[in-house]
């Protein structure tokens, strides 16, 4: 392979030049695989024409796209000799393995983009448009580029809040510009059914409409559905023709739309509109379909038939997440199904449903995609797993020979706060800044080449419980989706966050000029003060003893027994794995190894009521010299109040004493329960 000049750590800026010329810089997202620049530029002017040598369908798409782009290029009647943008589809492209790859070459005479497919030409055009964004100047040289992953996606939740046709099209425009190629639409959930199904009209004339001005008011209220046209009805849905319009619009941008129809859970709207599909047959009682009822399969298959007629995607997403399965344990029909099929538990009953739906989809030439819970009870033979509860589900699927798409909440859930919570509109919790998204690498170093080949791609997910408006939705997407696009497209060796940050700032200006509402990256506050450097204190490295029955929760260990004395403070979220979580109160004793003068003992707690994280009701600080008899230094009472904020509070003691052992206790308010999260017990 031809060796190219690379500036270590500077590929973001693409500074490449000959000795006699000033360096050229490119601001392209996602960063291309290779760039060889020579200095100078080809300038697109009013006389520049476009010539496309490609199959007719691709040619029409590309011509229309370029004509409506910022370059507004006219189509030449014959191949121009100069001052032209030439797009050429070729059978082979040296140095490019992917069908979506391209080679862009710019000379003084013009620009030529070569690719093996229309999609490859389209992505070359996106690079051209980004290069020409500054005065229609295209830097001279060659860019050779291809994606790291075949699947590069974003999921939009239109159930919790409905945004409509124009909004979806607008996001498709931006996705294409940054080389994303899968739009996953979460069409159904308890909050509303969002796609017209002609065989079941109650899904849209009733289950698509609810009370309350937004999801939170509805969820905290009576959670009722209302008839379409009612005075207080809030909601909406896509007609089948509108869905076809979305599919066609996406096709013109080389994006595949993947519909999601939830099963067996997150289906309260269905089991209320058609209660015979639940185990109790009573409206407003259950989120899960009755798997023992054959009418359930009749309903799901009929729905999927209409969905498949509209969406030509390889995959149909069936959800599969967060099923309680409780009603199945006592439902006569479910129990009879389990006995007949030889299923040992309700996990296997869910697997029965998923496997049966997969066979139905396979019969119609489609494949099943589901959240990682579809692993429970056994994975359907041809299913692909979308891993959201961390990375374990996706890795397990790959180890068993299945494809996986990674969308772990830690890196890919855009409903989290992207900056200091007190500076941001309300979110579901968490903290996912641009830098964290950018840092994600889906493929572990331990993977074999065969396993790496099963890593189909990555996806950002934007759940909309706390996002009631289109403007807020875009605010949560941009610029984080730009970081995800680079994770999905670019080679790991070419990534550099500091340089990406500069490109992202420029991209934000471009997005705002196009009418998108973005996060203000330029004025980002950053992580919680104190989380960026160790806090020196007397307890670091000392032995910690947890009182019997009060050990930390296994899912939030923060690293284990030394987490509270490692000198590391937590950030804006317990999801950063720096906060230790307790379900049965905190009761720890720290051995300072010898009698030591002490002037301060404190610890920080957080409160995020949505996921059940609360402040302590009471904190007690005690000391001892023998580890048996303790003297109480402080008892702090706190009134826990449920709210919508993300808050932090320090509980502790200051004074003067001498002791070897320090005991720190914190108790729950029994009215709320939930988690207590502590990051460090600081002793000074």
Q: Which CATH superfamily is domain 151-523 in?
A: Glycosidases (3.20.20.80)
Residue 264: closest CA among 215, 337, 208, 206: 337
Helix pair 165-177, 118-131: axis angle to 10 deg:
80
Q: Which of 170-179, 186-195, 307-316, 524-533 has the lowest mean pLDDT?
A: 524-533
Q: Does domain 543-683 have CATH number 1.10.357.10?
A: no
Q: Report the sign of the C-alpha dihedral through residues 538, 543, 544, 548, in that order.
A: negative
Task: State the pLDDT at residue 610.
Answer: 87
Three-state secondary structure string covering 450-505: HHHHCEEEEEEEECCCCCCCHHHHHHHHCCHHHHHHHHHHCCHHHCCHHHHHHHHH
Report, as an integer, the average pLDDT of 296-317.
98
The structure's pTM equals: 0.93
Task: State the pLDDT at residue 25.
Answer: 62
Separation CA 385–CA 365 (nearest Å)? 18
Residue 178: closest CA among 29, 362, 347, 61: 29
The pLDDT of residue 528 is above 50: yes
Residues 6+ apart with CB under 8 A from 283: 271, 272, 275
Task: State the pLDDT at residue 79.
Answer: 87
The pLDDT of residue 559 is above 60: yes
Residues 6+ apart with CB under 8 A from 204: 193, 195, 196, 197, 228, 237
On whether the CB atoms of residues 394 and 387 are closer than 8 A, the answer is yes
The pLDDT of residue 36 is above 90: yes
Any idea what DSSP says for residue 578?
A: -
Task: State the pLDDT at residue 21.
Answer: 38
Q: Does domain 34-145 have CATH number 3.30.379.10?
A: yes
Report, as an integer, the average pLDDT of 401-428.
96
The pLDDT of residue 3 is above 50: no
In the chain, where does the domain assigned CATH 3.20.20.80 lie? 151-523
The catalytic residue positions are 189, 266, 322
Task: State the pLDDT at residue 533.
Answer: 84
The pLDDT of residue 383 is above 60: yes
The pLDDT of residue 11 is above 50: no
Angstrom distances, CA of residue 321 to CA of 298, 428, 663: 21, 18, 41
The pLDDT of residue 10 is above 80: no
**pLDDT tens readout for residues 65-103:** 999 999 989 889 888 989 999 999 999 999 999 999 999
Mean pLDDT, rounded, of the chain: 94
Q: What percent of the chain has pLDDT over 70?
A: 96
Q: What angle do CA 317, 319, 322 make, to 5 degrees?
A: 170
N-to-C CA span, the chain: 59
In the chain, where does the domain assigned CATH 3.30.379.10 lie? 34-145
In the chain, where does the domain assigned CATH 2.60.120.260 lie? 543-683
The pLDDT of residue 2 is above 80: no
On whether the CB atoms of residues 299 and 200 are closer than 8 A, the answer is yes
Q: Which of 10-19, 464-473, 507-516, 580-589 has the lowest mean pLDDT?
A: 10-19
Q: What angle do CA 445, 449, 455 make, to 5 degrees?
A: 80
On whether the CB atoms of residues 465 and 494 are closer than 8 A, the answer is no
Residues 6+ apart with CB under 8 A from 333: 279, 290, 292, 293
The pLDDT of residue 172 is above 50: yes
Task: State the pLDDT at residue 150.
Answer: 98
Report, as an integer, the average pLDDT of 270-284.
98
The pLDDT of residue 256 is above 60: yes
Alpha helices (H) in 490-599, listed in sequence order: 497-513
β 367-371/384-387 pair status: parallel
Report, as an integer, the average pLDDT of 113-127.
98
- Tell me whether the omega of the peptide bond preceding residue 479 falls within 30 degrees of 0, making it cis: yes
Q: What percent of the chain has pLDDT over 90?
A: 92
**pLDDT tens readout for residues 619-634:** 999 999 999 999 999 9
Any idea what DSSP says for residue 572?
A: S
Task: State the pLDDT at residue 532.
Answer: 77
């Amino acid at each position: 392979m031809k060796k190219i000049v690379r500036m270590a750590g500077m590929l973001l800026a693409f500074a490449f030049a000959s000795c006699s010329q000033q360096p050229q810089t490119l601001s392209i997202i996602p960063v291309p695989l290779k760039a060889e620049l020579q200095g100078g530029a080809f300038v697109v002017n009013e006389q520049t024409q476009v010539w496309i040598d490609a199959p007719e369908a691709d040619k029409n798409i590309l011509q229309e796209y370029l004509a409506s782009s910022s370059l507004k290029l006219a189509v030449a009647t014959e191949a121009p000799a100069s001052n032209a943008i030439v797009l050429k589809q070729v059978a082979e492209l040296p140095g490019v393995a992917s069908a979506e790859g391209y080679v862009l070459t710019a000379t003084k005479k013009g620009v030529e983009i070569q690719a093996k497919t229309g999609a490859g030409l389209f992505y070359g055009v996106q690079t051209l448009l980004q290069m020409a964004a500054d005065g229609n100047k295209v830097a001279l040289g060659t860019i050779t580029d291809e994606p790291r992953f075949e699947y590069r996606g974003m999921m939009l939740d239109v159930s919790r809040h409905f945004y409509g046709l124009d909004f979806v099209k607008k996001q498709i425009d931006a996705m294409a510009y940054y080389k994303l190629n899968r739009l996953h639409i979460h069409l159904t959930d308890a909050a509303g059914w969002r796609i017209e199904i002609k065989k079941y009209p109650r899904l849209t004339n009733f289950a698509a409409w609810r009370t309350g001005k937004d999801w939170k008011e509805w969820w905290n209220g009576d959670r009722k559905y209302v008839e379409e046209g009612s005075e207080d009805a809030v909601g909406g849905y896509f007609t089948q023709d509108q869905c076809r319009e979305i599919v066609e619009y996406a096709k013109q941008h080389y994006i595949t739309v993947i519909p999601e129809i939830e099963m067996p859970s997150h289906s309260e709207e269905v089991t209320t509109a058609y209660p015979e599909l639940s185990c109790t047959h009573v409206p407003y009682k259950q989120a899960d379909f009755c798997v023992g009822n054959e009418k359930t399969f009749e309903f799901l298959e009929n729905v999927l038939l209409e969905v498949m007629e509209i969406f030509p995607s390889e995959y149909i997403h069936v959800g599969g997440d967060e099923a309680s399965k409780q009603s199945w344990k006592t439902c006569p029909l479910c129990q009879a199904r389990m006995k007949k099929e030889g299923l040992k538990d309700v996990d296997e009953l869910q697997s029965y449903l998923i496997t049966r739906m997969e066979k139905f989809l396979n019969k119609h030439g489609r494949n099943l995609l589901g959240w990682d819970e579809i692993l429970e009870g056994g994975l359907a033979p041809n299913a692909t797993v979308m891993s959201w509860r961390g990375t374990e589900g996706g890795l397990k699927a790959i180890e068993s020979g299945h494809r996986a798409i990674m969308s772990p909440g830690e890196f890919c859930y855009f409903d989290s706060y992207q900056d200091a919570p007190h500076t941001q509109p309300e979110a579901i919790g968490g903290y996912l800044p641009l830098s964290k998204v950018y840092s994600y690498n889906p493929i572990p170093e331990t993977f074999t080449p065969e396993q790496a080949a099963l890593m189909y791609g990555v996806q950002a997910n934007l759940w909309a419980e706390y996002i009631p408006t289109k403007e807020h939705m875009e605010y949560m997407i941009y610029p984080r989706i730009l970081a995800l696009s680079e994770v999905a497209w670019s080679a790991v060796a070419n990534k550099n966050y500091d340089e990406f940050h500069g490109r992202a700032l420029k991209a934000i200006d471009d997005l705002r000029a196009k009418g998108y509402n973005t996060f203000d990256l330029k004025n980002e506050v950053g992580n919680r003060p104190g989380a960026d450097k160790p806090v020196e204190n007397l307890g670091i490295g000392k032995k910690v003893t947890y009182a019997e029955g009060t050990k930390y929760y296994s899912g939030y260990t923060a690293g284990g027994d030394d987490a509270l004395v490692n000198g590391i403070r937590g950030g804006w979220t317990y999801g950063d794995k720096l906060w230790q979580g307790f379900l049965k109160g905190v009761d720890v004793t720290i051995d300072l190894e010898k009698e030591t003068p002490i002037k301060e003992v404190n610890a920080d707690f957080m409160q995020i009521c949505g996921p059940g994280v609360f402040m302590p009701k009471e904190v007690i600080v005690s000391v001892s010299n023998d580890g048996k008899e303790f003297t109480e230094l402080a008892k702090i009472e706190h009134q826990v109040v449920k709210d919508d904020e993300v808050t932090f509070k320090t509980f502790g003691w200051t004074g003067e004493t001498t002791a070897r052992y320090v005991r720190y206790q914190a108790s729950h308010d029994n009215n709320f329960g939930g988690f207590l999260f502590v990051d460090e017990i600081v002793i000074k």
